[in-house]
Structure formats: structure tokens, C-alpha cells
Chains A and B, each alone.
Chain A
């Protein structure tokens, strides 16, 4: 039982990180209708910049720099490439992001080479004891920061003018334009914010127990895609739920690996996709996605 509760807490924490990535995914999708496959390499960019600058700047400043670079990078993708071809259909744009992902990931992988750059996060292998339960400090920090970011994001989205412009543009861009909302600016803002949040998530992915940024970091972010799809691609709340589901499932599968050995090894990596398939079979638009059904 103790193990189960520890795994649950760990799973929640990991899930919060996935939720951060998935929310970026959903944000870009809502604002521009694009499924952004370049999200993983933007995350890698942020994590890489943080890891390379943390020795000179200290971890926290480096984290801000990493987030800023990833945000600016994502916004540049939108302004330089996506904006010019916005009118073509969403499928073409998604393929374009795949191309961007390959170029960006290849360049970063070349720079990283065989090295591993530690993220420099101040939390390491220490553990926090809560009664009977032992939780790694890094998991507590991840959950804490994720909750702060998610709350700030929710508040801004719900109550500020920026949030209203964002939601209006996502609901009906043509009408929002009639209100004076600058759709291009909203789109670039969504990309930038998604990139910055992804960078923060990336830093957690490369902190303990991971040794640091290496050339496979971009791939680990892929599990956020099933998280976003499970929740429904156009639902921010869905991204949160989907992220936590993926985190829990991956953690349980890893934790109970021995009991589940009849299913083979490495179950934790495919489990999110299995959950995604099951969810899609039952609800093709994801748990909270709008079903595209209109009143007749």
C-alpha cells in the first residue's frame, strides 16, 4: 500500500510536467489550429540553453534565459514560417511543423553530441519524508512549480484581457478580428508562451533522476502528445487531466514492472499510447475535446 501511494504521488508529479507540455500543445492548437510537432524540439532548445548557461548564470537565471529563448524561438517559427502559410489547411501546417522539428532537433543533437549537460537544478537525490512516505525532492519541486505555473496560467486565461482575446480568437477568429483583436499577435503569443512553459518542463525532465540534457531529451517529451490527445486537443483542462493520467500510468507501469513482466519490459513507455488508443476508441474527440457537433 505504501508503495502504491508513493507511486501515485510520483505519478502525479510526473503528470504535472506532462501537463505543462500538453498545455503548450493545446494552446497552439486552439490559437492557430496547428498540431505542433515541433514542440519537442522547442522543449529541447529551452533545456539545452538552461543547461549550457547555468554554470555562468546560476540555475534560476539560466532557467529564465532558457524559457525566454525557447519562447522567442517558438514565436519566430510562427512569425517567419507559419504566418505566411496560415491560409492552407491544418494538415499541411502540421507536416510543416514536423519538418521544423527535424531541422531543429538535428541541429541541437549535433551540438550536444555524445555529451550530457547537467541541468544544474538545486534539487538532487535528497528525499522528503511525509509520514511513512518517501518522495524524491525533485518530484516535490516539479509538482510545486507546475502547480504555480498552471494556476497563474489559468488565472490569466480566465480573467485578463489577454485571456479574453485568446479565448475569443480561439472560439471564432473572424469575429474576434472584428473586435480589433490582432490574430497574428495572439498566435505568436500562444507559440511563445507554449515554448516558454515547455522549456520549464524540459528542465525538470533533465534534472534528477535524469543525468542531464542529452540527445534523447526531445523524445521524452513525445509522451505529452498522448496526454494532449487523451484530454482532447482543444481543451486546456483536458491537457491537465491527460497529463496526469499519462504520468500515473507511466509511473505505475514502471513501479510494478516485476508484477507486469508477463507483458514484457519497457511497458512504461508504451502505456501512454495504449491509454490513448483506448480513450479514442470510446471518445474519438478525447475526454474533454469538443465533438464538433452542432445543434440542428
Chain B
């Protein structure tokens, strides 16, 4: 807390002056049927950082889209209420006009233009500004905040690391010199060390005079740098107040910070308003727990997994070595985690296991079968299923359809039988639907089967991914960042659901994850990768004590200093 405490005077809560942004009774619907916001009120005082917290699907992104005028592009519309910015009603205005008024949004997931260079990305951000001098000044300021970007102006945006892409996304927004900056989940998918950096920079941007609305899953970070905060729940404001008060409230501590991770000694004041707290949408945990081992559907068979062993695997792309001599063994029925900083080679590792990438050298054996030369669909037929880090679902199809895809390897009816809708195919489809329903119940999706994937919030889509993998009735389940983008409560719920499934089905699980508490709570053995090499292998307890791991993954004090020093030096890139 201390290192990030802001040294500017705190604006008084409920300032007497007119707030810069004033939202009243805002209602939003998607596609005429789904109500995303049911009357949200929000005041953003001049000079402040206001955090917007809430579970997946609470309406945080929708709120930002409604403010920035981009709802229509996502198929939504404002059905009531008003958004007032700087004294003017901007409800439903064209986004281009809103940007020119100095209100700019950084979208969720960074969304930098991957094929454009860093320089061109920044120029794109400045397109709304006519004044050449102002543009040059804005660029100077961006480079002061992010010296990294200056070193990489000619590089394509898509080649930057996740943290650098987030810097570019923020820098791009600053190019139009906003008075009000909306940030949608800037910490998503970033390593803890990088999140700290981003938090410091957001504080600095605010100190330089830009008002910030910060939507975050990482409530600990958001509440630390914010002056005020609101908590959204299913499209309504559930709690609001000073950030410090909220950070101290039991409600928030429990739901969003995860008790174990709370390290804020100052926030002690109890939260005054706890209205609606009990009506919180609790994601998968309760359902999965209840539906877990006891009420398993009759037809469910236990997995018959075999040992999965990776021997000296090396993967090269062109001149880059993504994995070098990596070895580990996963015993049947256990959970093995592969962890490491961004770019360590974790996803590459999963991609080798599923046959998406081919190892340059080394072997991968599943039981007695060598997986090395097999195509992905052959490996899937062996009973290896996976989920994807960047969701790979059919957005325009229903959840049920997506899950039926997972049943593909267990579906016998061919193209002709299905096309002609022969009785055998119809009967099989009915059976498959029944199985899908059972699997959906296991992960708490039974009420979402008929919904289209693109209307579902991110966290629910993650569960659809998990359910689809389970639909294949795998023996081995590979999970690529199953809790990325989830808050502590949801992450714990997912952890519980996976643990239950493992117990009930006897699955072997290989998981790749950033979230350390999640990994340590679930895995029996852990492999740590850094720059494509295996730097540690052992039980979670061993790993947590390993100095090399602390250095690489958690970042020691020395590493932090070195990093910031790097930035200051600003070595010119050759």
C-alpha cells in the first residue's frame, strides 16, 4: 500500500463541484432480450480514480461501452437513463464525437493492432487530434511513461509481450490527450510483477491530471490505487463508497480479494452499505460442489488414464527456441501444473501434447503410444482433451451446440445418416443431448444450454470450454489458464469444481496457469518453465521454496529494481 499511496490531495467524496461524469439510472439491453444493466448510478468526480468491480457478467464492460458510445457495435443499446459528461448529455452519441470530447476507452484484452507497428498504433490513437503540436506533446508524454515503447517504435504490435501490449494500449489512448480515461481490465492475463508496474503507471497518469475509471477483476490492485469504488452485481450497483472503506469491508474482502490475499492493513473500517450482498451470483462452485462426486450421472465411466511422459522436448520456430530439453512425467490420476512467466513456453508445451505443434526433438509418450507424429484429431481419439487460453468457441452457436462438438469423437452417425435425419441419427442425437446436459450440470451450466456463446460473460465461457473438453469423456484433461481473468472468488470456485471432477472421474490433469494460489491448491506436482527451460520440478511445497522460482516467477526485490533501472536507461534499440 505504502509504495503506491498517492501523494496528491484526495478529492473529497461527493465533491461539491459537478462530477466530470454523471450517470443516472442507466439501462442497457442486448438484442432486445438480455438486460445487462438495470439502472446504474455513478458519479466520477474530477481528479479521481474510480474503480468498478464485480464478478464476470456483472455488467462492468457493458457500462464502459455505454459510456464510450460503442454499445451498438456489440449489438446493445441504451434503453433508459442518461450519461452526462462535463455538463453535456452524451447518451447514445457517436463514439467518434465522444473521443473528440476527451473521453477515451482502453478496451478489454488490449486489442492493439497486431499488424501495425508500435508507432502506427500510437498514431492511430492520435487520429482524433488535429493539432500537430498537441500530438507531439502527447507522444512525448507517452514515451516518458513507457520508455519501452520508445525502444520499439518500429516493431509490430503483435510481437510485444502481454505487458508491453497493455502499455501500448494505454499509450495509444493517451495520444488523444483524454480528460477521462476508461480502462477495461488492464491486469488481465499479466504476471503479478507486471500488474504492479501497470498500477503504478495508472496512478501516475491520474496524477498528471487525467480522471480514470478502472474496471478490474483484480480488486486488490484496483482498490489500492482508486479513490472511490463501486461494486456491480448482475447489472446493479451493490456497494459504493471510498475505496479504502470498501477494501476494509468484510463483504468485499471475502468476495473479491480472497481472504488469504488481503494485505491491506489500513482498510479497517467496516462497510456501511451491504445491500444486496447476499444475492450475489455465485458462479460454478456451489453447483459443481453439490453435483460433484455424489450425484454423478449413472452412465459416467471412470477414466482409464495412462502415464504421460515428456522426454527432452525441444521446439523451435525459425530461430527462436520456445522449449528446450523439457522433461516431466504425469502419473495417472494426478494433477500436474506447468507454470512460468509470460512467454516461458507453457502454451507451447500444451500445444506439443495435443499435436498442434510438432516437437523439433524429444519424445512425448502416452502409455505405450508415441504422440510425436500424430495429428491432433488422433491424439483426441486417444482420450486427451483440452481447453484453450484464448477461448476457442463458436460464438454464434448455442452452448449446447458447442458442447455437442465435444462429443464428436463419441458420435457414430455419419454425414449421410445425419443429413437425412435417419432414425438412428436422431436417436443418437437425443442420447448425445442427454449426455451434454449431464456434463453441463457438472460445471453449473445447465441453465445456459440454449444461450448463444457471444452473449455469455467471459467467466462463463471459460466454463463452457471446460464442459466441452469433458464432453469428450477424456482420460487426460489439459487446461490452458482455466482461471485467467477471474477474480479470487471465482477462481476458488473453479478450483473446487476441477478438484471434484478429478475425484469423481479419475481424470489426469495437466494445467497451465498464472494464478499461484490456484495452482498450489490443486496440483500434486509442478514444473516451472522460464525462457523455454525447465528450472524446477517438484511438489508445490518444494517449488514455493525454490529460490530460482521466486526469482523467475514472483520477481524478487532485486529483479524489480533491475527492471525499473532498465526502463530509465532506455537503451536505444539497434
Which A residues fall within an 8 A CB radius of B? 87, 161, 164-165, 167-168, 171-182, 294-296
Query: What's the count of A-B pairs with C-beta under 8 Å?
Result: 80
Known A-B contacts A167-B113, A168-B113, A181-B96; the reply to A296 vs B176 at CB < 8 A is no
B10 interfacial contact with A, CB 8 Å = no
**Residues of chain B lying within 8 A (CB to CB) of residue A296:** 347, 351, 356, 388-390, 392, 480
> At the interface, yes or no: B127 with Cβ under 8 Å from chain A?
yes
B126 to chain A, nearest CB (A): 8
Inter-chain CA distance A174–B176, complex, in Å, is 17
Residues of A close to B356: CB separation below 8 A: 296
CB pair B347–A173 under 8 Å, yes or no, is no
Which chain B positions have C-beta within 8 A of A174? 70, 73-74, 107, 111
Chain B residues with CB under 8 Å of A175's CB are 107, 111, 113
Contact assessment for A167 and B389 in the assembled complex, using a CB-CB cutoff below 8 Å? no
- The one of A168, A173, A294, A295 that contacts B116, using a Cβ cutoff of 8 Å: A168
Q: Does B115 contact A (CB under 8 A)?
A: yes
With CB as the reference atom, state the residue of chain B lying closest to A295. B390
CB of A291, distance to nearest CB on chain B (Å): 14
Q: Which residues of A contact B105 (CB under 8 A)?
A: 178
Q: Measured between C-beta atoms, what is the minimum distance from A289 to chain B in Å?
A: 13
Residues of B within 8 A of A180 (CB): 95-96, 99-100, 127-128, 176
Complex CA–CA separation, A180 to B347 (angstroms): 35
Is B203's CB within 8 Å of the partner chain A? no
Is A171 in contact with B113, judged by CB distance below 8 angstroms?
yes
- Complex CA–CA separation, A237 to B366 (angstroms): 45
Query: Does B358 make an interface contact (CB < 8 A)?
Result: no
Q: Are A181 and B390 in contact (CB under 8 A)?
A: no
Interface residues of B in 44-87 (CB under 8 A from A): 68, 70, 73-75
Q: Give complex CA distance A294, B395 in Å.
A: 15
22 intermolecular pairs with C-beta atoms under 8 Å apart:
A164-B116, A164-B120, A164-B124, A167-B113, A168-B124, A174-B73, A175-B107, A175-B111, A175-B113, A178-B70, A178-B99, A178-B105, A179-B172, A180-B96, A180-B128, A181-B96, A181-B128, A182-B94, A296-B347, A296-B351, A296-B390, A296-B480
Chain B residues near A (Cβ < 8 Å): 68, 70, 73-75, 94-96, 99-100, 104-107, 111, 113-116, 120, 123-125, 127-128, 172-173, 176, 347, 351, 356, 388-390, 392, 480
Closest 10 CB pairs of A and B: A180-B128, A180-B99, A175-B111, A168-B124, A177-B95, A182-B96, A171-B113, A174-B73, A180-B96, A296-B388
CB <8 Å contact, B68 and A178: yes
Taken together as a complex, chains A and B put the C-alpha atoms of A294 and B347 apart, in Å, by 13
Query: B388: which A residues are within 8 A, CB to CB?
Result: 296
Contact: B389 with A178, CB < 8 Å?
no
Main secondary structure of the interface of A (DSSP, over half): helix
Are B95's CB and A178's CB within 8 A?
Answer: yes
Q: Across the interface, do B390 and A167 meet the contact criterion of CB distance under 8 Å?
A: no
The residues of B that contact A181 with a CB separation of less than 8 Å are 96, 124, 127-128
Query: With A and B bound together, what is the CA distance between A175 and B94 in angstroms?
Result: 14
Instruction: Give the CA-CA distance A27 to B115 in the complex, in Å.
Output: 16
Q: Which residues of B contact A178 (CB under 8 A)?
A: 68, 70, 95, 99, 104-107, 173
CB-nearest residue of chain B to A168: B124
Most A-side CB within 10 Å, residue of B96, B107, B124: B124
| Shortest beta-carbon distance from B118 to chain A in Å | 13
Contact call B68/A161, Cβ cutoff below 8 A: no
* Interchain CA distance A262-B104 in the complex, whole Å: 66
* CB-nearest residue of chain A to B119: A164
For B480, the closest partner residue in chain A by CB is: A296
Chain A contacts for B74, CB-based, 8 A: 174
Check B120–A167 contact: CB distance below 8 A. Answer: yes
A residues less than 8 Å from B113 (CB atoms) = 167-168, 171-172, 175
Contacts of B68 in A (CB 8 A): 178
Report Cα–Cα, A164/B120, bound state, in Å. 7
